[in-house]
Amino acid sequence: MINLPAALIQELQNNNIVDVEQLQKAHLEDAITSVRINSKKCTLQFSNQAKVPWADHAFYLADRPFFAHDPLWHAGAYYVQEASSMFLEYAFKQCVNLSEDIKVLDLCAAPGGKSTLVADIISENSLLISNEVIGTRVAPLAENMMKWGRCNTWVSNNDPKQFTKLENYFDVILVDAPCSGSGLFRKDENYIAEWTAANVHLCAQRQQRILHDVMPALKPNGILIYMTCSFSTAENEDICDEIVEQFSAESITLEVPTDWGILKTISKKKQASAYRFFPNLLQGEGFFLACFRKMDDVDNAPDLKYFKKEKTDFNWLGKYVNLNNKTVIQEKELLFAMPNNYLDDYLYLSKNIKLIRKGTLLGKAIKQELIPEHDLAVSVHCAYQNTYEVTLTQALNYLKKIDFTLPEDCPKGWVILQYNYCNIGWIKNMGNRWNNYFPMHLRIRKM
Ligand code: SAM
């Protein structure tokens, strides 16, 4: 029997939000496994499973496979994501005009679940900055964004404070705030032991600070989506009241089908609409989401005119990467592909924040030959045709960096190995031997 913290149960009972007995019962069951398909990659292998109602391309799995032994997981063909949090897709589509090219900030982005989701729904000429403040969490975020494979998704490593100066820059800001984590009790029981009312209070203070730091970076009429995985009002509806009060923001009410089991709540002071997810009411873990429009009318967006186009001709790279609407940038010896329309932004952002990943890293150029990077192989923009389909055993050996004999018919030179027609990485085949260019730090370690 899982015992949820008494103070939390008491609060939920007092607020009369949910039947706490049913909620406790739901905690006796296992957490649910769900995945979201990368819509620009190649697999349909989950399409016979039940669909997550509020997200396109998302499915519940009957059990939890060992994902690290699936080459398609390494290829970024899908992302393992908690189902409730995929509601962001539904909310985003209602609040944001997706036919426009927009700039989005995912402020608390690691490990990248919400960012990969947003990358899938924004236009090709939109820009997503996925930020993470904690240094050790940036590498997994950057890896996940690399595997998702879009050149318009960049990664940064900054404290929310550093965004204050990007005044009126973003059209949409997501704050998936660090929280007390009660919504994830079923996924990780350790959260139960760590939960205290005092920590809820500390989290609420931090959430307010984060919002104060980042709100200046949202354009007038821009959209803020605030999320937590906490059940506590102090971190949820009370923060919504702060948002309306402090930032002249207007709450946005969403149209949500009643049979989905999502609870609509209203904040006490400012009557902001919010959406709550409880594991006893739907197939998913605890989650909270609320949307706002910033009502400021002063728009002094930064004037971006920095970029001097280099004269270097990179057309020869067309063999490797689809260059439509993209420009190649050279930094020292490394080449990146990024959307044409963000060259000024690239310099503006480089001056103001610490960018870790910008566009798709193509590789090093030596004369007109490319020493390609893994980033390019798994990019949805990759145009390289010299590919070779391998079996599951060969793919796993490749990903473990274990030697195996390549079949005779494998082409020579730089080759991208594919599994299920999905790129998994580079090899260089010299005929009598071959080299495995799968990045050492990403290899499968558990045999
Ligand atoms: N959005 C992520 C996803 O969907 O995969 C999950 C984000 S998690 C709920 C909250 C994130 O906020 C964590 O990555 C954590 O490192 C980060 N964080 C912790 N303290 C923070 C702070 N003071 N300011 C901003 N972010 C912080």
The tens digit of pLDDT for each residue in 387-430 reads: 999 999 999 999 999 999 999 999 999 999 999 999 999 999 99
Q: How far is the CA of 250 from the centre of ligand 1 (A)?
A: 24
CATH class of 385-447: alpha beta
Domain ranges of the chain: 6-294, 385-447
Q: Is residue 109 lining ligand 1, measured as CB closer than 6 Å?
A: yes
- pLDDT, mean over the chain: 94
Considering only CA atoms, which residue is closest to atom 11 of ligand 1? 108
Q: Which atom of ligand 1 is nearest to the CA of 114?
A: 4
Does residue 297 carry a pLDDT above 80? Answer: no
Residues 41-51, mean pLDDT to the nearest whole number? 77
Mutate to test the pocket of ligand 1, among 79, 134, 212 (most ligand atoms within 8 A of CB): 134
Homologous superfamily, domain 6-294? Vaccinia Virus protein VP39 (3.40.50.150)
- What tens digit of pLDDT does each residue of 303-321 get? 776 656 666 788 899 999 9
pLDDT band at 147 (very low <50, low <70, confident <90, very high): very high
Tell me which residue has tokens 């009643």.
258
Mutate to test the pocket of ligand 1, among 108, 210, 239 (most ligand atoms within 8 A of CB): 108
The two tokens of residue 324 are 């439509």
**65: phi then psi, degrees, rounded to nearest 5:** -70, 170
Q: How far is the CA of 111 from the centre of ligand 1 (A)?
A: 8
Q: How far is the CA of 221 from the centre of ligand 1 (A)?
A: 25
95 flagged as catalytic: no
Q: Is residue 133 lining ligand 1, measured as CB closer than 6 Å?
A: yes
* pTM for the model: 0.96
Considering only CA atoms, which residue is closest to atom 18 of ligand 1? 178
Q: Is residue 212 lining ligand 1, measured as CB closer than 6 Å?
A: no
Do the first three CATH levels of 6-294 and 385-447 match, i.e. the same topology?
Answer: no
Considering only CA atoms, which residue is closest to atom 19 of ligand 1? 178
